[in-house]
Amino acid sequence: MRDALVAAAFRLFLERGYEQTTVDDIVALAGVGRRSFFRYFPSKEDVVFPDHERCLADMTAFLAASDEGHEPVLRVCDAARLVLGMYAENPSFSVQRYRLTKQVPGLRAYELSVVWRYERALAEYLRGRFTGRPDGSLRADVVAAAVVAAHNNALRSWLRSDGKGDASTTVDHALGYVQSAFGAPPAAPAPEHPEDPERPERPEDVVVVVSRRGAPLWRVVREIETTLGRE
């Protein structure tokens, strides 16, 4: 029933236009009553974004299942990928919705309100992880906004290409900027040939060259080269 209502709505939106299509038109084409429509969708705008409530619930549950072992910035980037997965499930529908949203100001405003709810979910999780840190709340809000901005930039680029190409690669590239700017640096790889634990570590060599003030630069360079050549 839900899928039938969405399909009927988008068929009419494409044929007549969004503003010219009413809820009565949608239920008539789907062969159901108005009560059935409002059982699934509070308004006509909601039928354009049928999966966002489910995706928001999935994201909230994903973040709630985190533990202290999860690096927080990487975790919210992974949470954003859930939204990408929702769009990638049905590329043709996602492209149609993107085009429709661009044409209808009311839908753009509705979409912004949905994006804000995603951002708040990410920020709330980060606030809990950054508690006690200097500017913890500020950092949480900035990182959440950066994740949403990077994700949406890559997502819209994919939608503008009519859903062609690998959306995951595009989004991973964008989220990589966020992780490199705000995430924990990767652990340094272990040396291939570790030193003997009983042998003291050899300090780095330091070369100091003393030259007379006003000496020509070529002479200073030659003294350096000569000193290094003796090492």
Q: Say whether pLDDT at 65 is over 70.
A: yes
| Residue 51 reports pLDDT greater than 80 | yes
The pLDDT tens digits of the residues spanning 85-133 come to 999 998 998 999 999 998 888 889 989 999 999 999 999 999 999 998 8
How far apart CA 145 and CA 116 sit, in angstroms, is 9
The per-residue pLDDT for 1 is 87
Between CA 87 and CA 151 the distance in angstroms is 12
State the pLDDT at residue 231.
44
Whose CA is closest to 16, among 25, 7, 28? 25
The tally of CA atoms less than 13 A away on the side-chain side of residue 115 is 17
What does the pLDDT read at residue 95? 92
Average pLDDT over residues 24-46: 91
User: Who wins on pLDDT, 215 or 195?
Assistant: 215
Between 44-58, 72-86, 98-112, 196-210, the lowest mean confidence (pLDDT) is in: 196-210
CATH number of 49-182: 1.10.357.10
- Per the prediction, the chain carries an average pLDDT of 86
Residue whose pair of structure tokens reads 């997965």 in the numeric block: 85
Q: How far apart are the first and last CA of the chain?
A: 82
Q: What angle do CA 104, 108, 113 make, to 5 degrees?
A: 150
Structural domain boundaries in the chain: 1-43, 49-182
* pLDDT (0 to 100) of residue 184: 75
Residue 126 tokens read as: 């980060």
- For the stretch 10-34, pLDDT in tens is 899 988 888 999 999 999 999 988 9
**71 confidence band (pLDDT: 50, 70, 90):** very high
Q: Are 72 and 178 in contact (CB under 8 A)?
A: no
| 131-186 tens-digit pLDDT | 988 899 999 999 999 999 999 999 999 999 988 888 999 999 999 999 999 987 65
pLDDT of residue 24: 94
Domains 1-43 and 49-182 share a fold: no
Looking at CATH, the fold of the domain delimited by 1-43 is given as Arc Repressor Mutant, subunit A (1.10.10)
